[in-house]
Amino acid sequence: MKRLTTLLSALVAMMSTNVFAEYGLNMTEGVTSISHDIYDLHMMVFWISVVIAVVVFGAMFYSVFAHRKSKGAVASQFHESTKAELIWTIVPVIILVGMAIPASKVLIDLEDTSKAEMTIKVTGHQWKWQYDYPKEGISFISNLAQSSKDAVTGTDADREAIGNYLLEVDNHLVLPVDTSVRFLITSNDVIHAWWVPEFGVKQDANPGFINDAWAKVDEIGTYRGQCAELCGKDHGFMPIVVDVVSKADYAKWVTEQQAAAKAATDSASKTWSKAELMAQGEDVYNTNCAGCHKKDGSGMPPIFPAMKGSPIANGAAADHIGMVLHGKGGMPTFKMLGDADLAAVITYERNAFGNTGSVVQPSDVTSAR
């Protein structure tokens, strides 16, 4: 008996969320009022389904065990009952109405973005996210962290060592706690979907249209999500990381970002040396271009052409700048990068991998825009 109790308590312990937290069996409760409401709805529908399943499958398996020929069961011949048909039409309708009422309430609440205190524009690109704070004048790109990129073809140990494999980015989105944030979500190329499970926010990013969603996070912390709409080759490699910080830390972060943005604008107006451009260009290239054109410039022809010996990289600078700014076919535009970064990466592409193109200055990019 004692052994049985121990076994049972072990089982109960296993069922508790802590043990399974690592594996994740259930939906997250999240950190916003919406995510809590969604979780409650999910559990309500789940338990209703479980109860119906127990009754229906209970009847079925009772019948399977009791009404079998090998047990001498004799088949009765009934085959109709208007009463039964009415019951199992009307009762489900009542249950469904019972589910629809709370679901409608939550839906109407989560679609109402009118109470937002600040706005962030989220733009999907193949395969990275761009975040704009229109009022604060902050804009940056958020790429999969280099540590994850390197570990994709590495060993299991590499992936464990870096932490948050495939769920880490170079630039985190930063939000203040206890603030109602409206996200304006759009895309620059194909359809993406911006999803942070713990916020209860998932919204398609459609090119040419703007969708909205909102979240008010009540716990400081780091929250991770992923793109949820197939968007091409690296769909699985464009995660989302959000730091929710105190309002004071947020204000400090905004000041820092604004200073950095000013420095970037200033650097775009000076003339760079080729070495400076090449050094910066290599970073920009590995972050933005190497996914398709590969680190060594070999590309993945025929869909993603090689940089090495490319007629564009070795041809007129204006064509090369135009290609990077505006894209063509499967090549997306990179006009969201700063002029200095663009000049650096174009110069790098024109002079690395044995290419012999000219040097491009930030001012060339500015005038080409």
Partner 1 sequence: MTTATASHDDHHHGPEKGLMRWVKTTNHKDIGSLYMWFAFTMLLVGGAFAMGIRAELLQPGMQLMDPHFFNQLTTMHGLIMVFGAIMPAFVGLGNWLIPMMIGAPDMALPRMNNWSFWILPFAGGILLSTFFMEGGAPAFGWTFYAPLSTTFAPDSTDFFIFAVHLLGFSSIMGAINIIATVLNMRAPEMKLMDMPLFVWTWLITSFLLIGAMPVLAGAVTMMLTDRNFGTAFFDATGGGDPVLFQHIFWFFGHPEVYIMILPAFGVVSHIIPTFARKPLFGYSSMVYATASIAFLSYIVWAHHMFLTGMPVAGELYFMYATMLIAVPTGVKVFNWISTMWRGSMTFEAPMLWAISFVFLFTIGGFSGLMLGIVPADIQYHDTYFVVAHFHYVLVTGALWSIIAATFYWLPKWTGKMYNETLAKVHFWWAVISVNVLFFPQHFLGLAGMPRRIPDYSLQFADFNFISSIGGFAFGASFILLTYIVIDCVRNGKPTGARPWPSAKGLEWTLEPKAQYHSFSTPPSRKLIEQESQNS
CA angle 97, 100, 103 (to 5 degrees): 160
Q: Which is nearer to partner 1, 187 or 310 (CB)?
A: 187
- At residue 121, φ and ψ (nearest 5 deg) are -95, 125
Q: Which is nearer to partner 1, 85 or 319 (CB)?
A: 85
Q: What span, in angstroms and rounded, lies between the C-alpha atoms of 47 and 17?
A: 17
Minimum distance from residue 210 beta carbon to partner 1 (Å): 8
Minimum distance from residue 239 beta carbon to partner 1 (Å): 8
Minimum distance from residue 193 beta carbon to partner 1 (Å): 6
Q: Which is nearer to partner 1, 84 or 251 (CB)?
A: 84
Token pair of 160 as six digits: 């464990």
Q: Which is nearer to partner 1, 108 or 275 (CB)?
A: 108
Minimum distance from residue 177 beta carbon to partner 1 (Å): 22
Question: Whose CA is closest to 28, among 219, 231, 239, 234?
Answer: 219
Question: Whose CA is closest to 164, among 151, 173, 154, 178?
Answer: 151
Q: What span, in angstroms and rounded, lies between the C-alpha atoms of 220 and 364?
A: 43
Q: What span, in angstroms and rounded, lies between the C-alpha atoms of 352 and 313?
A: 10
Question: Whose CA is closest to 123, among 359, 275, 363, 335?
Answer: 335
Q: Which is nearer to partner 1, 233 or 249 (CB)?
A: 233
Minimum distance from residue 91 beta carbon to partner 1 (Å): 9
Q: Which is nearer to partner 1, 119 or 211 (CB)?
A: 211
Neighbouring residues of 339: CB distance < 8 A, sequence distance ≥ 6: 268, 362, 363, 365, 366, 369
Minimum distance from residue 284 beta carbon to partner 1 (Å): 22
